[in-house]
């Protein structure tokens, strides 16, 4: 089992069907101990281009002018990211897409039970939505869909509390047409399918939805009690805690 036999496993899939299928790229990462020498390299051209902000800006403008090219652009990006083996310092290996994408990438990510049935259900729904948005809402999804696997956490407010979890991300690019509308729609749809939003991503549909938090986080009330015991005067209360009803 690849998930249990490696330190990190994820895959990325094109939400658009190209030549009759959805292209998928698998990413497996392991800690090398003791550290070895650098081995292999990512492809030179994608490595250079993905670190130049002007080129990402050009990509955004191109996608806005020619949205019908979106599927082919994602297909090309996935193919160009192919590397058989790559060993390097951890921070260089961690992020696959280049530093410039960090400025323009924006997403909502959701935690689901790490079962094949659930992952397939959610991905097939995203595929259908991608087709629907393109045909009827003139919204194009400018990115692949990443899926990563995480082992259970004991943190009370972790979305992977006490269960193996598959995180399914729905990224887009800042300032592409309808980027925020796309994320808001997916937030509502994924939450209805049992997805728990990632705290650190775009999750404005979670704000003031206090009952959802209490229902989905079995230890939320315990967390509130511990927080109040440790901070009875509310010194460390902030807008984020208030908006989520964690008082």
Q: How far apart are CA 25 and CA 114, in angstroms?
A: 18
pTM score of the predicted model: 0.88
Mean pLDDT of 56-62: 74
Percent of the chain having pLDDT more than 70? 87
Mean pLDDT of 71-92: 82
User: What value does the mean pLDDT of the chain take?
Assistant: 86
> Residue 41 — very low, low, confident or very high, per pLDDT cuts 50/70/90?
low
Query: Which is nearest to 170 in space by CA: 118, 120, 106, 81?
Result: 106
* Residues 86, 93 contacting (CB under 8 angstroms): yes
């Amino acid at each position: 089992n690849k998930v249990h036999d490696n330190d990190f496993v994820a895959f990325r899939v094109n939400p658009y069907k190209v030549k009759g299928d959805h292209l998928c790229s698998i990413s497996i990462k392991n800690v090398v101990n003791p550290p070895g020498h650098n081995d292999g390299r990512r492809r030179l051209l994608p490595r250079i281009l993905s670190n130049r902000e002007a080129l990402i800006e050009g990509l955004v403008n191109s996608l806005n002018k020619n949205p019908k090219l979106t599927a082919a652009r994602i297909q090309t990006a996935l193919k160009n990211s192919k590397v058989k083996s790559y060993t390097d310092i951890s921070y260089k290996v961690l992020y696959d897409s280049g530093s410039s994408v960090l400025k323009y990438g924006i997403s909502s990510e959701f935690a689901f039970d790490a079962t094949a049935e659930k992952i397939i259900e959610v991905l097939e729904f995203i595929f259908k939505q991608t087709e629907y948005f393109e045909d009827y809402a003139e919204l194009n999804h400018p990115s692949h869909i990443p899926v990563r696997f995480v082992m259970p956490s004991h943190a009370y407010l972790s979305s992977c509390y006490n269960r193996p979890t598959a995180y399914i991300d729905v990224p887009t690019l800042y300032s592409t047409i309808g980027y925020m509308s796309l994320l808001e729609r997916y937030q509502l749809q994924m939450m209805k399918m049992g997805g728990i939003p990632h705290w650190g991503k775009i999750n404005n549909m979670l704000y003031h939805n206090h009952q959802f938090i209490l229902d989905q986080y079995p230890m939320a009330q315990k967390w509130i009690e511990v927080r109040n015991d440790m901070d009875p005067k509310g010194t460390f209360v902030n807008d984020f805690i208030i908006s989520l009803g964690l008082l």
